[in-house]
Structure 1
Amino acid sequence: MSAADARRYRDPTAPVDTRVRDLLSRMTLREKVGQLNQRMYGWDAYRRTPDGGFELTDALYAETDRFEGLGALYGLQRADAWSGVDHTNGPGAEDGAALAELVQRHVVERSRLGIPALFVEEVPHGHMALDGTVLPVNLAVGATWDPGLYERAAAHAAAELRSRGGHVALVSALDIARDPRWGRTEECFGEDPYLAARFTEAVVRGMQGPPAEYFAADKAPVVLKHFAGQGATVGGRNSAESELGPRELHEIHLPAARAGVRAGAAAVMAAYNEVDGMPCSGNRELLTELLRERWGFEGLVMADGLAVDRLARITGDKMSAGALALGAGVDLSLWDEGFTHLEEAVERGLVSEEALDTAVARVLRLKFRLGLFDQRDGTVPFPAQGRELSTAVARGAVTLLRNDGGILPLTASVSRVAVLGPQSATAAHQSGDYTAPQRPGTGASLLDGLRRLAPPGLDIRHAPGCALTGDDLSGIPEAVAAAAASDLAVLVLGGSSARTPGTQFDANGAARTVVSEMTCGEGVDLAGLRLGTAQNALLEAVVATGTPTAVVLVQGRPHVVPAAGAAALLTAWYPGPWGGDALAEVLLGLAEPVGRLPVSVPRSAAQLPVYYNHKDTEYGGYADEDAEPLYPFGHGLSYTSFAYGPPRLSGHTVEADITNTGERQGRSVAQLYLRRLRTPVWPRTLELCGFRAVDLAPGETRTVAFPLGAELPGRGTVVEFRVAQSARAALAAVPTQSFTAPDETPL
């Protein structure tokens, strides 16, 4: 055994912390700084060779020479319009692992101490790579109200990532949707902190598995983003200022992060926004005093792309910006220049070497936990059944908002169906932002699903009617004719987050200009929430035929549609490539609509905000419009009906009887809301604090129980609980008897 092999950090039997200390003691200041830099776009590290293989670029050589190694590499497998990577030049499922091995071997060889790199990948709704399974967006996930289903989907995404040699997953989870004009609303689980917390726990459990010293070969450490308060952006404008007081921050925007930390999340990403005037990446009160000292978080903090350099507006130059971020608690930069100057910053006394060592130790610890030093990062087989999981989530997200006259599901009396609208025959706009190019033939539109699943003899006619954007009305007459000749019109409208190769991008990947049919996504914010001119004209024309019309919305935010007109209204959010199959199953009655709204749907953008958990004040209306949302948080109809009995409070458990009063099997999502009657501070109208899905046969009654734990209010607070099918129904529901929290109840 050589002297190098005898070093403790190379001993796989030694405790992780021992190995970290030993390696850190051997590193130069320059090598330490290199471990905290994540400078490259991963797609610039390689290129295809004429024989179909890969070769490394001069850019990668220069980057590894700069710090005698590489701390982390972002987006080696990323494919999209921004990176320019597609199936002609990028790694697929069959050769992604070989590319990762080629790059890693180079990194280790360039490092004096043989330190491998972390490969960091985007996993917003599945691994953002060629051949990766695309899942429905987070807003659709939130609509399922089923964290267990999402946990299974997240586990699959982690296995795909690791099968291709990736290590770390960047996962949107912490943003709360408070203004649907924001283009990144699709990345939120919803408007409620409790709901978001449960899904954040699910993604951590699914991707990372149970806490352990080492990650399993098919599990990936999660970077939860964005910490914190990014969903409070003023005016729904991306990266705008946020106006957050401490109570609003802690009650609405931090519970999901707190839940993720408790579940064992390996890392969080500091957000772009500021909190009380200090950007998150330079906010020591947030990243150190709260996250580490009060919450006990021991993981890694990564800055969002180029966020450290933005701090130069405060410090005066990028070197001091890097020092500010490191001192605040950022461990790993993303594309910034500021962290490249940390060696000089230490020498000038702008930041201590002790602070630098602390950050480096966190990066190294994650590498040891992944087994990168022990060749434990051997890839796992690419997992199967991705399509089935994606479709299952899409199915669970379909939400029936209106069903006048019970026109859905389709009955035997319907023999002719007109499938209309710009979203009716394409799967290209069913996936959200951060989606890799799909191979031709991937996915199923609603038209595809209906044609495949419809009973024999059902005549299905199709006309798109118009495009997603623009005011071209020339296709409407054909759609009107098809609707008039049918027993039912299914009109599929909505938006798109699809980025085309013509999109112009900012340096951090956000869309700079809106092109083609893009109406949502990062950098694509709206002042209003109505559908485009042509889509509204198509809706009015089809409804005017008198043919019963079911409108299906495929969207990344709650768009506003006229309350009158269509007999039925469903939303699928962005259901992923196979969402058309899920929608067809629901329309045909092969599956029940089980989705529930994770956000309130406004009547117009003029009445924003409309989230349900506003402060319990004299919430007056407007002289010219109702102030209440068109559809409330938690709302969703079934093909059957349910009756809720009065809730009962027994000790620390709330119970309620639920009966299926209809003629079909169905699922109801019982929602437990807390209403504070007397508190030390002004309360919110309602607060979700539990939910349970219950499947019932016709006439069946079951008791749903909600054990109360952390949901109990602070000591001395007087509250009541309500069990209902939506936030609006909860306000009218019979409450439990009032409950006074005992003195020993934790705050």
Structure 2
Amino acid sequence: MSLPRYRDPAAPVPERVRDLLGRMTLREKVGQLNQRMYGWDAYTRAGGGPRLTDAFRAEVAAFDGMGALYGLQRADAWSGVGFADGLDARDGARTAEAVQRYLVEHTRLGIPALLVEEMPHGHQALDGTVLPVNLAAGATWDPGLYADAVAGAAAELRARGAHLALVSALDLVRDPRWGRSEECFGEDPYLAARMTEALVEGAGRAGVAVVLKHFAGQGASVGGRNSAATELGLRELHEVHLAAARAGVAAGAAGVMAAYNEFEGLPCVANRYLLTDLLRGEWGFEGVVMADGTAVDRLVRMTGDPVAAGALALDAGCDLSLWDVGFTRLDEASERGLVSEEALDAAVARVLTLKFRLGLFETPVPPPVPAAGRLPDPAELGERLAAASVTLLSHEGGVLPLSRTPGAARRIAVLGPNADSLERQIGDYTAPQRPGTGITVLDGIRAAAPPGTEVVHARGCALVGDDLSGLPAALAAAASCDVAVLVLGGSSARSGDTAFEANGAAVTGTGTPTGMTCGEGVDLADLALPAGQRALWEAVSASGTPVVVVLVQGRPHALPEVPAASASAVLSAWYPGPRGGRAVADVLFGIAEPRGRLPVSVPRSAAQLPVFYNGKDHRYRGYVDQSALPRHAFGHGLSYTSVEYGPPRLSAATVDAAAPRLTCRVTVRNTGSRPAHETVQLYVRRLTGGTSWPRVRELRGFARLDLAPGTEAEAVFTVGHETLASVDRALRLTVEPGEIALETGPASDRTREARLRITAAAG
């Protein structure tokens, strides 16, 4: 007896899909579009090792199959899973195998499930590698290093049997009051696009497919309010918020997640223009569209009942639900004529196509990776990523790098609420860490300090509030030391005291959840550091001891004017991950040079928002009471040496719009005494012409140069269609005639220009 066509691995995927689809009942089809169950409810450890639950068996029986299972390996405060009842790497792989074996052996057609896991900055599982958050990855401006780190983390996820990684990549920090700023690569579409490509490529090396979150425009929510409305128009959407998605789709992303926000009056999960006309029609995307958690059921406010809500999302182009009731009743929607058979089959076909392409029917659980084929250690790569992200914002008096001369009598005070807290440097969407693991900033400084150095520690104040009971001890420590390292910032650490929404976001309103000042659901109206931290900074600065401020944070906090007497240096370390303390210490002591560059603009206050660098160029003069410019501009970052940039040199002064091609060169010289790791940035600024009002400038390239003291090197940019294109009236990327300035420099506010004329295509 021959195997069914869909069981033949040699058959083309479209034929296998068509054969399997033709064998399915309506209820089985509906089951393939559902991802209703929380994965941690699919197993229990009661009475010994993990085993599948009756709830899992009932979910499978309800549809004679399962489309996808979310979060089998997930562990955190929201899921309630920890080391006592969760899955380590070995048990995780075994449980994934048990899930697939049950589906194959106890369903009529034996269709395996997609096992879907969160991989926001490493795999969110017990003993999974935690990488620096995306905002830190963006601060490296190093897609290659990020791709390597992603590959290692994805290999862990795949070894546990999962296939799909959910990763925030598409949102932009247009308002840093938004609690999910840490999940973004930055404020700029070009930088986000390059990092998104690296994400998809890196995960693909480990055989993991990526679902990109969130499509589209979620970072433009009004007031930085989570899941709130946006006021985006089509042009703003295309010019700013679609670049990363377009790049990720072109790089081979398996899916996109429809965001919570609405666009043009419709939530993204019900927006046919976004999910069908644009994504599939214009871009040719053939992957799956997944709803964000409970997003389908939120449509009941529009439709009046969950059946119609599910039908609305399916008709718009959503293929796979997440924790929703609406999609479980798509058979009712079909019977009521709310969805067509063609639309239902098309969604099922996309899910099945992904399963076939991932090889689920042949190897639902991957074989062990041989030692010779293992990818680099992701924890080590995460530490390198953290070191590359540390950004030197200001530096006066040459206090850095700290001396490493052995035997020199020296005392260092390490102060502040984030100096010795692992949980506050690892960010949101993070599994519990085993006791004794990780390296805090205090640990890192103690390890890096040369013999004979005494390191003293005092917290000084709490993370939030104005309790300064610890201030006297901190002042005494600072006064007795040669330098004070003040570690301030924020925290996205969840705890058992945190209350959660149904989708896992922290519950907020009036007041802040215990220990959290950032993270999903934790938005701020005021971006200033909390009162206690500001008071500690001021008091320690007044002690006369040189002060180095390290900001461990998930968003750019608004920084006051920092005179030299207040702080000798200010650095941003973002959330650098479990080994981030050593990465910070390496930069402080000059073991590593500061390489980070700002992926976001740092505001002076929340009152001046927005401050992103690439706004429309209406030549606004500024507020009466304060500057409209940021404290530190996008792309800014200092080093321990000095560099000089020559002017940009173009290979042509005029190009044809139909086939523009030239090179832009700039010479950079290290004029100091230490190595320089320079990120040379290329911007485009329209001077005349075009069909839309121009932006101030737009990033269109960057290159890294490593320069020994006294040497120079040349950054060379190939300038073509992608560099010069802008969104025309038809919302297409087009090279339009006119005059532009190609600008190069170390930051968006420190550039030199060369002018280029673009002529209309002949004929």
- So what's the TM-score if we normalise by structure 2? 0.94
One-letter code of the match for 1:676? R
Q: Which of the residues 676, 679, 693 maps onto 1:682?
A: 693
Correspondence for 2:729 = none
1:555 aligns with 2:543: no
1:152 aligns with 2:162: no
Q: Take 2:650 and 2:38, find their aligned partners in 1: how far apart are those partners? A: 55
Q: How far 1:458 sits from its partner (Å)?
A: 1.4
Q: Take 1:436 and 1:691, find their aligned partners in 2: how far apart are those partners? A: 34
Correspondence for 2:401 = 409
Correspondence for 1:545 = 543
Equivalent residue runs for 1:416-565 within 5 Å: 416-513=411-508, 514-564=512-562, 565=566
One-letter code of the match for 2:520? E
Q: Take 1:436 and 1:414, find their aligned partners in 2: how far apart are those partners? A: 41
Q: How far 1:482 sits from its partner (Å)?
A: 0.7
Q: Take 1:340 and 1:376, find their aligned partners in 2: how far apart are those partners? A: 24
Q: How far 1:680 sits from its partner (Å)?
A: 1.7
Let me know the Cα RMSD of the aligned residues. 1.3
Correspondence for 2:44 = 47
One-letter code of the match for 2:179? G
1:385 aligns with 2:377: yes
Q: Do the aligned residues in 1 keep the contact of 2:186 with 2:600 (CA within 8 Å)?
A: yes
Q: Do the aligned residues in 2 keep the contact of 1:449 with 1:580 (CA within 8 Å)?
A: yes
Q: How far 1:245 sits from its partner (Å)?
A: 0.7
Q: Do the aligned residues in 1 keep the contact of 2:389 with 2:595 (CA within 8 Å)?
A: yes
Determine helix, strand or coil for the equivalent of 1:373. coil
Q: Take 1:741 and 1:77, find their aligned partners in 2: how far apart are those partners? A: 56
Q: Do the aligned residues in 1 keep the contact of 2:428 with 2:519 (CA within 8 Å)?
A: yes
Q: Do the aligned residues in 2 keep the contact of 1:371 with 1:377 (CA within 8 Å)?
A: no
Q: How far 1:562 sits from its partner (Å)?
A: 2.6
One-letter code of the match for 2:613? Y
Q: Do the aligned residues in 2 keep the contact of 1:155 with 1:219 (CA within 8 Å)?
A: no
Q: How far 1:472 sits from its partner (Å)?
A: 1.2
One-letter code of the match for 1:684? R
Q: Do the aligned residues in 2 keep the contact of 1:162 with 1:379 (CA within 8 Å)?
A: no
Equivalent residue runs for 1:273-288 within 5 Å: 273-288=261-276
One-letter code of the match for 2:593? E
Correspondence for 2:657 = none
Equivalent residue runs for 1:206-225 within 5 Å: 206-209=202-205, 218-225=206-213
Q: Take 1:373 and 1:684, find their aligned partners in 2: how far apart are those partners? A: 50
Correspondence for 1:740 = 758
Correspondence for 2:738 = 717
1:663 aligns with 2:673: yes
Moved more, 230-239 or 506-515: 506-515
Correspondence for 2:185 = 189
Structure 1 residues 653 and 177: CA distance shift in structure 2, 3 A: same
Correspondence for 1:700 = 711
Q: Take 2:479 and 2:762, find their aligned partners in 1: how far apart are those partners? A: 67
Correspondence for 2:63 = 67
Determine helix, strand or coil for the equivalent of 2:425. coil
Structure 1 residues 540 and 81: CA distance shift in structure 2, 3 A: same
One-letter code of the match for 1:295? W
Q: Take 1:103 and 1:383, find their aligned partners in 2: how far apart are those partners? A: 26
Determine helix, strand or coil for the equivalent of 1:202. helix
Correspondence for 2:333 = 345
Q: Take 1:232 and 1:106, find their aligned partners in 2: how far apart are those partners? A: 43
Q: Take 1:329 and 1:375, find their aligned partners in 2: how far apart are those partners? A: 29
Q: Take 1:221 and 1:503, find their aligned partners in 2: how far apart are those partners? A: 32
Q: How far 1:240 sits from its partner (Å)?
A: 0.8
Q: Take 1:454 and 1:629, find their aligned partners in 2: how far apart are those partners? A: 35
Equivalent residue runs for 1:564-643 within 5 Å: 564=562, 565-643=566-644
Identity level (%) = 64
One-letter code of the match for 1:492? V
Q: Take 1:662 and 1:562, find their aligned partners in 2: how far apart are those partners? A: 29
Q: Take 2:152 and 2:519, find their aligned partners in 1: how far apart are those partners? A: 24
Q: Take 1:361 and 1:455, find their aligned partners in 2: how far apart are those partners? A: 62
- What do the CA deviations read for 1:94-127 (whole angstroms, capped 9, x no partner)? 2110011111112222320000111100000001
One-letter code of the match for 1:17? P
Structure 1 residues 634 and 188: CA distance shift in structure 2, 3 A: same
Determine helix, strand or coil for the equivalent of 1:359. helix
Equivalent residue runs for 1:170-185 within 5 Å: 170-185=166-181
Q: Do the aligned residues in 2 keep the contact of 1:680 with 1:717 (CA within 8 Å)?
A: no
Q: How far 1:597 sits from its partner (Å)?
A: 0.2
Determine helix, strand or coil for the equivalent of 2:177. coil
Moved more, 325-334 or 304-313: 304-313
- What do the CA deviations read for 1:700-733 (whole angstroms, capped 9, x no partner)? 1111101013112323132110101111112xx2
Q: Take 1:558 and 1:376, find their aligned partners in 2: how far apart are those partners? A: 43
Q: How far 1:384 sits from its partner (Å)?
A: 6.2
Q: Which of the residues 120, 127, 130 maps onto 2:126?
A: 130
Q: How far 1:50 sits from its partner (Å)?
A: 2.5
Count of matched residue positions in the alignment of Structure 1 and Structure 2: 730
Q: Take 1:131 and 1:696, find their aligned partners in 2: how far apart are those partners? A: 38
Q: Take 1:184 and 1:379, find their aligned partners in 2: how far apart are those partners? A: 36
One-letter code of the match for 1:343? D
Correspondence for 1:214 = none
Correspondence for 1:212 = none
Q: Take 2:551 and 2:620, find their aligned partners in 1: how far apart are those partners? A: 30
Q: Do the aligned residues in 2 keep the contact of 1:370 with 1:377 (CA within 8 Å)?
A: no
Q: Do the aligned residues in 1 keep the contact of 2:681 with 2:703 (CA within 8 Å)?
A: yes
- What do the CA deviations read for 1:285-316 (whole angstroms, capped 9, x no partner)? 11100000100101110010111111122222
Q: How far 1:563 sits from its partner (Å)?
A: 2.1
Q: Take 1:552 and 1:375, find their aligned partners in 2: how far apart are those partners? A: 47
Q: Take 2:96 and 2:24, find their aligned partners in 1: how far apart are those partners? A: 25
Q: Which of the residues 27, 30, 35 maps onto 1:30?
A: 27
Q: Do the aligned residues in 2 keep the contact of 1:655 with 1:704 (CA within 8 Å)?
A: yes
Q: Do the aligned residues in 2 keep the contact of 1:466 with 1:472 (CA within 8 Å)?
A: yes
Determine helix, strand or coil for the equivalent of 2:683. strand
Q: How far 1:505 sits from its partner (Å)?
A: 0.6
Q: Do the aligned residues in 2 keep the contact of 1:163 with 1:380 (CA within 8 Å)?
A: yes
Q: How far 1:383 sits from its partner (Å)?
A: 5.9
One-letter code of the match for 1:85? V
Q: Take 2:757 and 2:472, find their aligned partners in 1: how far apart are those partners? A: 61
Q: Take 2:100 and 2:506, find their aligned partners in 1: how far apart are those partners? A: 31
Q: How far 1:744 sits from its partner (Å)?
A: 8.0
Q: Do the aligned residues in 2 keep the contact of 1:175 with 1:230 (CA within 8 Å)?
A: yes
Correspondence for 2:163 = 167
Moved more, 556-565 or 362-371: 556-565
Q: Take 1:379 and 1:515, find their aligned partners in 2: how far apart are those partners? A: 43
Structure 1 residues 379 and 515: CA distance shift in structure 2, 3 A: farther
Q: How far 1:739 sits from its partner (Å)?
A: 2.5
One-letter code of the match for 1:66? A
Q: Do the aligned residues in 2 keep the contact of 1:165 with 1:378 (CA within 8 Å)?
A: yes
